[in-house]
């Protein structure tokens, strides 16, 4: 099971959202895994991922205990991919998020050539991932499906809120937080990029897709 599996949205809204992550298995292939995971992320960095993350150390966009809420919007917004790589000191799970299938395909070809010997998973639309693997010369091992939302759906928030909040599989971006960011963008108090970056800091494992978030926020601002 992966926390990246339940990203809400119709298929056409997820064609700029690809998460590739790697992990080792304890007692099986964890020897030297930290260096292999670092190599994985450095290969990913060649293709300009929109986010990268470490399961316990955070992503490229991080909160800071040294800043007050008053400094939240004036703080530097730049990403720190090297901080993610440096934080890998033991076997864990790491991920890279892309907004273009061509970059994913090129990355997979590099991973195949590197032959790291660790598990690699693509979380995206199934047909997109399968086609990408075939073009990269990789045979898919297995597949997982999300069955979506079931039951009484009347209490769920609107589509834009769900599309934003479910991009953090650990639930660190609440519905109210996503709704607040949408409202601030609609009121021209923040740009879509500023709001997306703020949300990305709360996604502890770095799988939040800023490109998709900016698009969703812009659609919400226009009432689409």
How is residue 7 annotated by DSSP?
-
Question: What average pLDDT does this structure show over 143-172?
Answer: 89
Task: Give 47's pLDDT tier (boundaries 50, 70, 90).
Answer: very high
User: Distance between CA 20 and CA 120 in Å, rounded?
Assistant: 7
Q: What is the pTM of this model?
A: 0.89
Q: For residues 152, 155, 159 and 165, what is the CA-based torsion angle, rounded to 10 degrees?
A: -110
Residues 184-222 pLDDT 10s: 999 999 999 999 999 999 998 899 999 999 999 999 999
In angstroms, rounded to a whole number, what is the distance separating the alpha carbons of residues 211 and 221?
16
Q: Which one-letter DSSP state was computed for residue 94? A: E
Strand boundaries in the chain, DSSP class E:
18-23, 51-54, 58-59, 93-98, 119-123
């Amino acid at each position: 099971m992966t926390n990246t599996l339940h990203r809400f949205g119709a298929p056409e809204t997820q064609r700029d959202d690809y998460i590739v992550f790697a992990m080792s298995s304890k007692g099986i292939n964890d020897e030297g895994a930290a260096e292999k995971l670092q190599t994985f992320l450095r290969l990913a960095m060649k293709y300009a991922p929109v986010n990268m993350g470490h399961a316990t150390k955070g992503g490229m966009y991080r909160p800071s205990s040294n800043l007050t809420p008053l400094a939240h919007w004036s703080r530097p917004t730049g990403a720190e991919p090297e901080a993610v790589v440096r934080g890998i000191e033991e076997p864990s799970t790491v991920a890279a998020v892309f907004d273009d299938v061509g970059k994913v395909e090129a990355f997979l070809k590099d991973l195949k050539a590197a032959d790291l010997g660790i598990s690699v998973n693509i979380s995206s639309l199934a047909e997109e991932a399968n086609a990408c693997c075939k073009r990269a010369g990789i045979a898919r091992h297995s597949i997982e499906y999300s069955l979506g939302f079931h039951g009484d759906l009347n209490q769920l928030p609107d589509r834009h809120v769900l599309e934003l909040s479910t991009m953090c599989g650990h639930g660190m971006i609440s519905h109210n937080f996503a709704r607040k960011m949408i409202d601030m963008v609609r009121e021209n108090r923040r740009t879509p990029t500023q709001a997306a970056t703020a949300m990305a800091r709360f996604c502890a494992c770095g799988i939040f897709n800023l490109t998709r978030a900016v698009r969703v926020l812009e659609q919400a601002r226009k009432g689409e």
